Chains A and B, each alone.
Chain A
Amino acid sequence: AQSVAQPEDQVNVAEGNPLTVKCTYSVSGNPYLFWYVQYPNRGLQFLLKYITGDNLVKGSYGFEAEFNKSQTSFHLKKPSALVSDSALYFCAVRDDTNAGKSTFGDGTTLTVKP
């Protein structure tokens, strides 16, 4: 079985400050982890993914995420937030026992204030 938890419904940061959006997961097999962003009235856009290898993954728009196997976490980070980063962020997991199904977290709304 797969599950994803995004413990914070809302994250507020000031522009220029670092941001973190948290994600923890549970899978039966080896995890494949993804982050997506959704702007109002749009579909989800892919940011980055972890498959294997380096635990620090770099993605689009300056975002990165750190895979921590012992803590079963995959937190999204950015060193310096922009107002334009304000959006809804989803973490998703897949495992190698079920290639076709992705399970998504409930989403975290990020608000970056000027």
Chain B
Amino acid sequence: KAGVTQTPRYLIKTRGQQVTLSCSPISGHRSVSWYQQTPGQGLQFLFEYFSETQRNKGNFPGRFSGRQFSNSRSEMNVSTLELGDSALYLCASSLGTVGNTIYFGEGSWLTVV
């Protein structure tokens, strides 16, 4: 059974640009959540989608957005990139109920220059 797949794995963007990251969940999983990981801030929750609806949202500015498609694949977008957006962005999927384990992808490393 394939795991969570994130693309691209590495990317470099210029300040002010926008970026889209993609996540394919484990087959059958309807919940996809996104996290930002930085050395100083640890793992910060961005948002979670369940059956194409945003169910939870963290405390990030509106420049961070996401969506989920009918096949449960998800994308997140960051507009007007800032240097501080440089981070590892992790996607995780689960069946969607509270006791279900969330499984992580390998992440997308974003560097903003």
Contacts and interface: CB of A to CB of B under 8 A. Distances in A.
| A, B co-complexed | yes
Contacts of A69: none
B104 A96 contact: no
7 contacts: A34-B101, A44-B104, A46-B103, A100-B31, A104-B35, A106-B42, A107-B42
Interface stretch (B11-19, B78-86, B91-99): B91-99
Given A44-B90, A90-B43, A102 B105 contact: no
B25 interface: no
B38 to A, nearest CB: 11
Contacts of A100: 31, 33, 48, 50, 55-56, 96
B90 A96 contact: no
Given A100-B48, A104-B42, A46 B101 contact: yes
Nearest to B55: A100
Which range contains the number of B residues in contact with the other chain?
20 to 34
Nearest to A42: B106
Given A100-B33, A100-B50, A104-B42, A43 B107 contact: yes
B110 interface: no
Interface of B: 4, 31, 33, 35, 42-43, 45, 48, 50, 55-56, 58, 90, 92, 96-99, 101-107
A95 B56 CA distance: 13
Interface string A86-114: 00001000111011111111110000000
Nearest to B107: A43
Interface of A: 32, 34, 36, 42-46, 49, 51, 90, 94-96, 98-107
A43 B105 contact: yes
Contacts of A107: 42-43
Contacts of B99: 32, 49, 51
Given A32-B99, A51-B99, A101 B48 contact: yes
Given A34-B101, A34-B102, A42-B106, 6 more contacts: A43-B90, A46-B103, A95-B98, A99-B98, A102-B102, A107-B43
